[in-house]
Amino acid sequence: MIPVTKAFLPPIEEYTKYLKGIWESGWLTNYGPLVNDLEKKLCDYLDVGSLSFCTNGTIAIQLAMKALDISGEVITTPFSYVATTNSILWEHCKPVFVDINENDFCINTDKIEEKITDDTKAILAVHVYGFPCNVEAIEKIAKKHGLKVIYDGAHAFGVQYQGKSLLAYGDITTCSFHATKLFHTVEGGAIISSSKEIYKKVKLHQTFGHSEDDYFCLGINGKNSEFHAAMGLCNITKVKAIIDRRKIISEIYNQTLNFGRKLSRPSSTLDFDYNYAYYPVAFDTEKRMLEVKELLKKNEINTRRYFYPSLNTLPFIDYQPCPVSESVSLRVLALPLFYELAEQDVKKISNLINSCLEHE
């Protein structure tokens, strides 16, 4: 079976070297030396002001909202993983959905202002598949209406926009370091901000709201362990090689898939350095997408409907129409993409898809 993704694992001797150090020190969690070292190395690699390593990408969004004192309504996208919407709901806020662009599947900034009310407090946008949102337009809207900006950058690790990390934009950008991501710590995430004040609030909220014996605010346990940091320290040195390999695989897909009326892929008009986080394609109909998905499954090739369903249609929230997102979510499919994927397997996948497209 060819999986849709596979976690990159460093040479085991590199990881066990860190494990021996953990055993010797006995320091397992609570901001040990490996966590502190990883935070510093990530700040240096991404060239960001501050970064707090946390439990996962979902907790990162919740901590971001808490640190920015977000309440009321939050403008957001319906085209994302459910964690984006769930984080808003978990913080007792109301998601207000704005439809997406047809080219890059990111939030349509031309439609944001019409959804802003007196109760709107923030914009939570997603850099979908690593394609940048229109950060300039979002910043302009946020300043005009006095709103906070949070970016879900779960897919954006390593993306450069206008000469700096895409993760450096907004009041806060969150990131996921889950095992499926191109940089991972098995489980993990990060909260990134250029503001020292916000950084201090994040750190406080993720450590139960207290520092030693002094208690300041409501908090949770959002810390991460030395074991997860060890994986991150191994993988941070491999990011360039990982992205380079994923680029090669993506370019083979580009060259071998028959794009046209029946098959397309997201694209962006912005000038940025991509990270090749995913390889999504969109079919002209859901029926055709399901036929391709079933054909690949019969050939032991796993794919994923990523993202499905459109989040504005979730059964536990009030429906808000977003026709572009609803259409795309029915037709999009993420193809296998990971470091160890063989080039002949990429060509096999493309040939199977092409054969299905040729069949009416």
Asked if 206 and 223 touch (Cβ cutoff 8 Å), the reply is: yes
Q: Cα separation of 207 and 201, whole Å?
A: 10
CA gyration radius for the chain?
21
Q: Is pTM beyond 0.85 here?
A: yes
Q: Cα separation of 7 and 182, whole Å?
A: 8
Q: Among positive and negative, which fits the CA dihedral 44, 49, 53, 58?
A: negative
pLDDT per position as a tens digit, 248-288 = 999 999 999 999 999 999 999 999 999 999 999 999 999 99
- CATH class given for the domain over 239-358: alpha beta
Q: Which residues contact 286 (CB under 8 A, 6 or more apart)?
A: 330, 331
Q: Please, which pLDDT band fits residue 3 given cuts at 50, 70 and 90?
A: very high
Q: Domain 12-236: give its CATH code.
A: 3.40.640.10
**Ranges of each domain in the chain:** 12-236, 239-358
Check residue 213 and give its pLDDT. Answer: 86
pLDDT per position as a tens digit, 190-236 = 999 999 999 999 999 999 989 888 888 889 999 999 999 999 999 99
Q: At what angle do helices 57-67 and 196-205 cross, to 10 degrees?
A: 120
Q: Cα separation of 129 and 81, whole Å?
A: 11
Residue 188 has a CB neighbour count (10 Å cut-off) of: 28
pLDDT at 19 over 90: yes
pLDDT per position as a tens digit, 130-181 = 999 999 999 999 999 999 999 999 999 999 999 899 999 999 999 999 999 9
End-to-end CA separation in angstroms for the chain = 27
